[in-house]
Amino acid sequence: MHYMGLTEYFDLDAHDTTVRTEVIAGITTFLTMSYIVVVNPAILAGIPGTKPGIVIDGFSPTQVRSMLAVVTIVAAATATTIMAFYANRPFAQAPGLGLNAFFAFTVVGALGIPWQTALAAVVVEGVLFILLTAVGAREYVIKLFPRPVKFAVGTGIGLFLAIIGLQEMGIVVADSATLVTMGQVASNPVAVLSVVGLFLTFVLYARGIKGAIILGVLVTTVLGWLVTQAGLVAPDAGLVAASTSATYDITPLAGSFLQGLGDIEGFAFALVVFTFFFVDFFDTAGTLVGVGQAGDFLDDEGNLPDVDKPLMADAVGTTVGGMLGTSTVTTYIESATGVEEGGRTGLTALVTAGLFLASLALVPLAAAIPLYASHIALVVIGVVMLSNVVDIDWNDITQTVPAGMTILVMPFTYSIAYGIAAGIISYPLVKVAAGEYNDLRAGHLALAGAFVVYFFVRTSGLLASSV
């Protein structure tokens, strides 16, 4: 497709942009979010001995991570291409941070649900989202999302990701008295190098260097290798990945959701889908709003115009991703960096998708990155996502309570869904208490009631006892 064809297809003139601008924006978006190729496999494969995730018999954890890297790339490229041609938006998609942690640490780890069944749940909820989006129901529910909760979700997810990253880096550890505390950083080589890598990444990010996050992760990995090779730490200190072997064969993952569908109990599986549905639905809503917020695409009510098309791209991406073998695909807040470079159409997304495919050549490199280095990205992104709080009216108690509950409950309960539920339940309560009945809709009460049921199911042990 030549330049004139691209201009006409993506309607660049109407969006006051050019092919050159869109290409630069697409490259910027890819560099900013390319860390997911390393981080998503690290989360989904779990942490051996502490946090189980996707484990495949006959394959080492490093080999599983390389498979997941390939799946991550293909899912991101597929979903972002759909966003480009169908929605014509400069939004890139990939397996979502937070959702992958929920998949690995909560569903597979805490609840003990087989990862194949978890993937089947992802596919089923993806299909449900396609149907809901097609009839406009998903867009309607998102518009019912209370405004303070909309703008608090991104910050809550950021804190949730940050605590996961800090734990793996050895900076934050469990404590019987205070729940969490500072680790023995000075005596832990992993923690020391993690701190160095983290602040190096912050410096690169503050300097406005494109690809600062992935560059920081790579430099930290190289430093760990150099320190180990120089004999400054023991070979088993954990600064170097145990193995660098990689495989492009994703057949053990692709289609494994079918095994999950064939080995389920009806009630238990319905509860798993129910859980994924709520988490994915509102996490995606929050992310889209966050991207629109960063790109100044929202209207005066905080809604994204024509949101049905990016929602459909998201739904299809989730379904395809689950079929390939990864957790829910969603729109990335990092897309805003491309928008800031002038990206306004799907051509930006198309360039990003092409670069994801090109990164398949780097899968062996991704397999060589140790977990502590990859989790630097979680902390950096977590800090950046705190900026969303500026759009919350903290002088209005009816805004402060639901927003604050959303932000606080997510990291403290290790659950995105709990945080969103707390915000939505508290919103009508404080509005009624303040006598501001005109701000309430029937949908607010319905959502709050649904989340009360959700809380009961998740905290009663009913889900865990059924699987």
Q: Answer yes or no: is 125 within a domain.
A: yes
Q: Answer yes or no: is 466 within a domain.
A: no
Nearest C-alpha neighbor of 72 from the set 89, 52, 95: 95
Residues 6+ apart with CB under 8 A from 2: none
Q: Answer yes or no: is 445 within a domain.
A: yes
Question: In this structure, which long-range contacts are made by residues 8-12, counting pairs with CB atoms below 8 Å and at least 24 apart in sequence?
Answer: 10/88, 10/345, 10/346, 10/347, 11/88, 11/345, 12/344, 12/345, 12/347
Residues 6+ apart with CB under 8 A from 211: 31, 32, 34
pLDDT score for 451: 80
Is pTM, for the whole model, over 0.85? Answer: no
Q: Answer yes or no: is 412 within a domain.
A: yes
Q: Answer yes or no: is 1 within a domain.
A: no
Nearest C-alpha neighbor of 273 from the set 463, 55, 75: 463
Please, where are the H alpha helices in 359-440? 363-367, 371-374, 376-384, 397-413, 416-433
Residue in the structure block whose two tokens are 């900026």: 387
Nearest C-alpha neighbor of 286 from the set 169, 141, 426: 141
H/E stretch holding 375 reads: none
Rounded-to-integer distance, Cα 43 and Cα 53, Å: 8
pLDDT score for 243: 60
Start-to-end C-alpha separation, the chain: 51
Residue in the structure block whose two tokens are 């992958």: 100
Rounded-to-integer distance, Cα 280 and Cα 286, Å: 10
Q: Give the single-character DSSP code of 436.
A: -
In 3-state terms, the chain is what percent helix, strand and coil (to 5)?
Answer: 70, 5, 30
Please report how many Cα atoms fall inside a 13 Å half-sphere around the Cα of residue 407, on the Cβ side.
20
Specify which residues 182 forms β-bridges with: 172
pLDDT score for 295: 62
Nearest C-alpha neighbor of 29 from the set 294, 211, 214: 211
Nearest C-alpha neighbor of 308 from the set 191, 166, 143, 420: 143
Rounded-to-integer distance, Cα 359 and Cα 121, Å: 28
Q: How far is CA 406 from CA 80, 159, 163, 204, 384, in A?
A: 29, 11, 16, 31, 17
What domain count does the chain have? 1
Q: Answer yes or no: is 465 within a domain.
A: no
Q: Answer yes or no: is 91 within a domain.
A: yes
Q: Answer yes or no: is 208 within a domain.
A: yes
Rounded-to-integer distance, Cα 32 and Cα 28, Å: 6
Rounded-to-integer distance, Cα 214 and Cα 374, Å: 8
Domain containing 348: what range?
6-460
Rounded-to-integer distance, Cα 400 and Cα 240, Å: 45
pLDDT score for 339: 79
pLDDT score for 28: 82
Q: What is the pLDDT along the chain (467 residues), one digit of tens a residue?
A: 556 677 788 888 888 888 988 998 888 888 878 889 988 998 898 765 556 689 888 888 888 889 999 999 999 999 999 999 999 989 999 998 778 887 887 788 877 888 999 999 999 999 998 998 888 776 677 667 788 887 787 788 788 878 888 988 899 998 888 988 999 999 999 999 999 999 999 999 899 887 788 889 889 999 999 999 988 888 877 788 766 566 788 999 999 999 988 777 666 677 778 767 766 776 677 667 766 766 667 777 767 788 888 889 989 999 999 999 999 898 887 787 787 777 888 999 999 999 999 999 888 877 778 878 888 888 888 888 788 788 889 999 999 999 999 999 988 887 776 788 899 899 999 999 999 998 888 888 888 888 888 677 666 665 554 44
